[in-house]
Amino acid sequence: MTDIFDQIREKDRTVLQYISDGDDDIQLITDATTLSNAEVNYCFQKLQDLSLITVEKPDGMVERVINGTLQKFEAPKQAELTDAGKKYLERNSGEELTRYKDLNAQELGCTIRELEKRVDSLENELTGFKKFVRRKLDQPDN
């Protein structure tokens, strides 16, 4: 699995975890993450090439509520974890925590401050975006 580990990006791990949690098609993963349809599709292909998932494309149409509206579209590709995919997730599920395990108190403090700055920045950007959307919604159509 070390060979596979080196080939798996954070996006791939995210997609694997969502498949494991039951969001097993491209649209569900795209809707639940910040990944685009193309990124999830690429992850599906890569993970299938690594034999971590199997992918199938169901026939027919599906109806789902997306962003508050009922939409009907072609059924998206669906994935299922293989035994190798399940083993990969089991072995690597704690990886996010272990990257901080070897940091000393000062390094952890610096990391926390940097993460706090990033969160503050994102909150400010979100506030600005919300104001922009409100202004656009309040403006009459020209």
- Predicted confidence at residue 6, as pLDDT, reads 75
Q: List pLDDT tens digits, range 99-142.
A: 666 678 888 888 888 889 989 999 999 999 999 888 888 887 65
Length of the chain: 142
Domain boundaries, the chain: 2-98, 103-142
**Where does the pLDDT of residue 96 fall: very low under 50, low under 70, confident under 90, or very high at 90 and above?**
low
Cβ distance 82 to 54 under 8 Å?
A: yes
Express each pLDDT in 25-53 by its tens digit. Answer: 999 999 888 889 999 999 999 999 999 99
Q: Backbone dihedral region of 58: left (phi > 0), alpha (psi from -120 to 50 degrees) or beta? A: beta
Q: Which CATH architecture has domain 2-98?
A: Orthogonal Bundle (1.10)
Q: Give the type of residue at 131.
A: K
Top pLDDT among 70 and 102 is at: 70
Name every residue whose Cβ is closer than 8 Å to that of residue 23 and which is 6 or more positions away in sequence: 29, 32
Q: How far is CA 91 from CA 6, 11, 75, 80, in A?
A: 14, 17, 32, 18
